[in-house]
């Protein structure tokens, strides 16, 4: 009898795509920040540290893998708009980023087409959310969830 494989999985999370997610913001970011409670889990799971602030991952969209990056962003808030820099603490966040991968950008726009159309026309996304399920290792499935 074959031995079963067992592996650790990260929590599933859902987010509502907006301008930054689709790269429609001023910096064409194509990224989003994960929920705060996942920061330490992601840092440990992917071995992120000084000198190694990012790790390649795969987003599985409709049974095909697309490249992306999980990265540890250390926000020093050196140029705040309203407050002084010393009034704001340094903040560590984890982001998923696919700015460098046009094929991933296209797959996400297609999978979340209703949300993309709403956001690109200047409206707030009320139609779809993105559900991220960690499969194992570096693989996350992205599922479009209708919000209606």
Say which CATH number the domain at 105 has: 2.40.330.10
pLDDT in tens, 15-40: 999 999 999 999 899 999 999 999 99
CA distance 59 to 38: 18
3 in any annotated domain: no
7 in any annotated domain: no
Task: Estimate to the nearest angstrom the gap between the alpha carbon of 76 and the chain centroid.
Answer: 20
For residue 49, give its domain range: 13-146
2 in any annotated domain: no
pLDDT in tens, 45-68: 999 998 999 999 999 999 999 999
31 in any annotated domain: yes
Strand-pairing partners, residue 69, are 56, 97
Say how many C-beta atoms besides its own lie within 10 A of residue 78's C-beta: 8
DSSP assignment, residue 52? Answer: B
pLDDT in tens, 80-107: 566 665 666 667 899 999 999 999 999 9
8 in any annotated domain: no
Q: Look at residue 61 and give its three-state secondary structure.
A: strand
Number of folded domains that form the chain: 1
Which of the four pLDDT bands, split at 50, 70 and 90, describes residue 127?
Answer: very high
59 in any annotated domain: yes
Which backbone phi and psi does 33 adopt, to 5 degrees? Answer: -95, 130
């Amino acid at each position: 009898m074959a031995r079963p494989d067992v592996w650790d999985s990260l929590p599933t999370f859902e987010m509502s795509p907006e301008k930054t997610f689709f790269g429609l913001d001023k910096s064409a970011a194509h990224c989003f920040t994960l929920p705060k409670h996942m920061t330490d889990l992601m840092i440990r799971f992917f071995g992120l540290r000084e000198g190694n602030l990012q790790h390649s991952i795969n987003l599985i969209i409709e049974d095909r893998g697309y490249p992306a990056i999980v990265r540890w962003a250390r926000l020093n808030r050196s140029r705040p708009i309203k407050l002084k820099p010393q009034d704001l603490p340094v903040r560590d966040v984890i982001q998923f980023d696919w700015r460098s991968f046009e094929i991933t950008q296209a797959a996400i726009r297609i999978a979340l087409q209703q949300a993309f159309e709403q956001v690109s026309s200047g409206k707030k996304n009320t139609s779809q959310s993105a559900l991220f399920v960690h499969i194992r290792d570096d693989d996350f499935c992205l599922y479009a969830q209708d919000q209606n």
